[in-house]
């Protein structure tokens, strides 16, 4: 009996419990990984310019710090290729365990990197190396977590299930921002000397929790069934047919990869601008640093439910209509958002973050299913990871630095930033329209 048949032979209650366990595990693991990854974003906005890039003009230091931030996004597609290859060959579960281990160790070590006063430029070099390892880890994490949730779920509920993986991003942001915000209450000298390091050192504790949960999760039944099907085909032919490497399977259909990358890019640009540039901008206008961090954390918490609602809505209406609607509304919202951020009023700054993240969630919720459903089972980990991570590289990796540079060169005028983000959003809308609606695709197909 195949793995799919075994799963179907179980009673409905057992299947639902199994699916809930996997979804909860994917959500928790994603939250922990994104705590580590996005904690760096907060530190890049409020700490690293003063600790690792001292002696520079304020906004030049910010641009330099965002350069190290970008290194993680450059490495994410590499992580998608590495973990995707073995995930498509050996299974999803093992790769999730390895990715979490790499992320936890790299994040903990960031907390002990010596600053510029001790190590000079070598502190920044070490920071980049560890950021690259973070990028490789999260590049492998997302695809495995999304596929585990997707491939354990019933048809018609896949967008909802996969959205929990993306809900891990705002959840991790809440956790990281709250912890960093708590330590930012220290006197400024103490915060910059050692306070900012504690949230990174706590990564080791989260690593232990995450590993405990990950070890209890069962492998994807769809993946196991695909391996069984190939084995049966090979037995029938009396010979071992060598399957092409997952990356080659994906690259044989470059249009799918390129279109999913460009379709998702604007969503990541908007997300990372809220997490980095918007925080820096609000503080530069005189708002209290801790207040801004807490406002962002509270808004991120509110947005978690909207990510899941976006995924659920996409099960009913389709992935494309929901994602396009979110982008159109966000374009309209850009100008009032920056006006609220510049108000020097924590309440209004919270509103700016909350509305922005709620709108963004309608795009972000369906994105995990939208990307993953484009690929066949034996290359889905590689294809989904690579498409998603290339979108993060294009949309998020360089955006904080580009936006900060544009803002600086324009005499600190946000209109140029608005135009840049609006154009990126229009490009993504076009490629969402050009990409096939995947809601009803057959996930059990071995190849795309």
The per-residue pLDDT for range 249-259, each reduced to its tens digit, is 888 888 888 99
Taking the C-alpha atoms of residue 31 and residue 320, their distance in angstroms, rounded to an integer, is 25
Inform me whether the pLDDT recorded for 9 exceeds 60: no
Reference 41, options 172, 133, 165; nearest CA is 172
For position 59, what pLDDT does the model report?
67
Q: Which residue has the tokens 């330590």?
A: 183
* Res. 446 pLDDT band, cuts 50 70 90: very low
Average pLDDT over residues 6-18: 59
Taking the C-alpha atoms of residue 380 and residue 99, their distance in angstroms, rounded to an integer, is 17
* Res. 290 pLDDT band, cuts 50 70 90: confident
Inform me whether the pLDDT recorded for 219 exceeds 80: no
Query: pTM for the complete prediction?
Result: 0.78
Cβ distance 321 to 291 under 8 Å? no
Total residues belonging to the chain = 448
Angle at 27 between CA 225 and CA 153, to 5 degrees: 35
Taking the C-alpha atoms of residue 329 and residue 416, their distance in angstroms, rounded to an integer, is 19
Q: Dihedral sign for Cα 443, 140, 257, 267, please.
A: positive
Cα–Cα separations (whole angstroms), residue 94 to 23, 86, 360: 16, 9, 32
Radius of gyration of the chain (CA): 21
For position 4, what pLDDT does the model report?
46
**Residues 172/173/175/179 CA torsion (nearest 10 deg):** 140
Report the chain's mean pLDDT, rounded to a whole number. 82
For position 11, what pLDDT does the model report?
56
The per-residue pLDDT for range 385-395, each reduced to its tens digit, is 888 888 988 88
Average pLDDT over residues 397-425: 88
Cβ distance 275 to 292 under 8 Å? no
The per-residue pLDDT for range 136-187, each reduced to its tens digit, is 988 888 888 888 877 777 777 888 888 888 888 888 878 887 888 788 788 8
Taking the C-alpha atoms of residue 31 and residue 210, their distance in angstroms, rounded to an integer, is 9
For position 315, what pLDDT does the model report?
92
The per-residue pLDDT for range 174-208, each reduced to its tens digit, is 888 788 878 878 888 888 888 888 888 988 888 88
Inform me whether the pLDDT recorded for 341 exceeds 90: yes
The per-residue pLDDT for range 343-356, each reduced to its tens digit, is 999 999 999 999 99
Average pLDDT over residues 360-371: 90
C-alpha 226, offset from chain centre: 27
Inform me whether the pLDDT recorded for 87 exceeds 60: yes
For position 116, what pLDDT does the model report?
67
Average pLDDT over residues 232-236: 63
Number of Cβ within a 10 Å radius of residue 122: 12
* Res. 1 pLDDT band, cuts 50 70 90: very low
Share of the chain above pLDDT 70, in %: 86
Q: Which residue has the tokens 């936890």?
A: 104
Go through 212-243 and write b for each residue having 16 or more CB atoms within 10 A of its CB, e for each that does not: ebbeebebbbbbbbbbebbeeeeeeeeeeeeb
């Amino acid at each position: 009996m195949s793995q799919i048949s075994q799963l179907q032979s179980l009673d409905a209650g057992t299947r639902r419990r199994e699916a809930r366990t996997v979804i909860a595990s994917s959500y928790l693991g994603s939250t922990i990984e994104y705590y580590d990854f996005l904690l760096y974003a907060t530190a890049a906005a409020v700490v690293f310019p003063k600790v690792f890039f001292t002696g520079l003009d304020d906004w030049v230091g910010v641009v330099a710090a965002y350069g190290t931030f970008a290194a993680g996004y450059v490495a994410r597609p590499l992580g998608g290729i590495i973990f995707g290859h073995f995930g498509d060959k050996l299974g999803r579960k093992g790769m999730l365990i390895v990715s979490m281990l790499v992320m936890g160790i790299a994040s903990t070590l960031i907390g002990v990197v010596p600053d510029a006063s001790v190590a000079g430029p070598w502190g920044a070099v070490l920071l980049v190396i560890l950021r690259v390892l973070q990028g490789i880890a999260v590049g492998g994490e997302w695809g495995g977590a999304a596929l585990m949730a997707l491939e354990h779920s019933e048809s018609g509920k896949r967008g909802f299930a996969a959205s929990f993986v993306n809900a891990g991003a705002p959840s991790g942001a809440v956790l990281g921002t709250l912890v960093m915000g708590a330590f930012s209450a220290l006197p400024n000298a103490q915060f910059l000397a050692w306070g900012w390091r504690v949230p990174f050192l706590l990564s080791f504790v989260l690593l232990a929790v995450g590993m405990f949960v990950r070890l209890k999760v069962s492998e994807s039944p769809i993946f196991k069934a695909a391996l069984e099907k190939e084995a049966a085909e090979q037995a029938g032919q009396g010979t071992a047919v060598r399957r092409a490497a997952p990356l080659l399977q994906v690259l044989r259909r470059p249009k799918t990869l390129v279109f999913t990358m460009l379709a998702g890019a604007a969503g990541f640009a908007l997300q990372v601008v809220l997490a980095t540039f918007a925080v820096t901008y609000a503080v530069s206008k005189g708002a209290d640093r801790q207040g801004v961090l807490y406002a962002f954390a509270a808004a991120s918490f509110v947005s978690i439910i909207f990510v899941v609602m976006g995924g659920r809505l996409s099960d009913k209406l389709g992935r494309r209509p929901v994602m396009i609607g979110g982008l159109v509304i966000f374009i309209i919202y850009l100008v009032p958002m920056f006006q609220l951020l510049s108000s020097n009023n924590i309440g209004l700054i919270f509103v700016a973050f909350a509305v922005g993240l709620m709108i963004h969630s309608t795009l972000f919720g369906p994105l995990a299913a939208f990307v993953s459903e484009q690929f066949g089972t034996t290359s889905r980990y590689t294809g989904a990871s690579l498409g998603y991570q290339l979108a993060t590289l294009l949309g998020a990796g360089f955006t904080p630095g580009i936006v900060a540079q544009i803002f600086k060169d324009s005499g600190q005028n946000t209109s140029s930033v608005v135009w840049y983000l609006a154009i990126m959003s229009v490009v993504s809308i076009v490629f969402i329209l050009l990409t096939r609606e995947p809601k009803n695709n057959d996930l059990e197909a071995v190849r795309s």
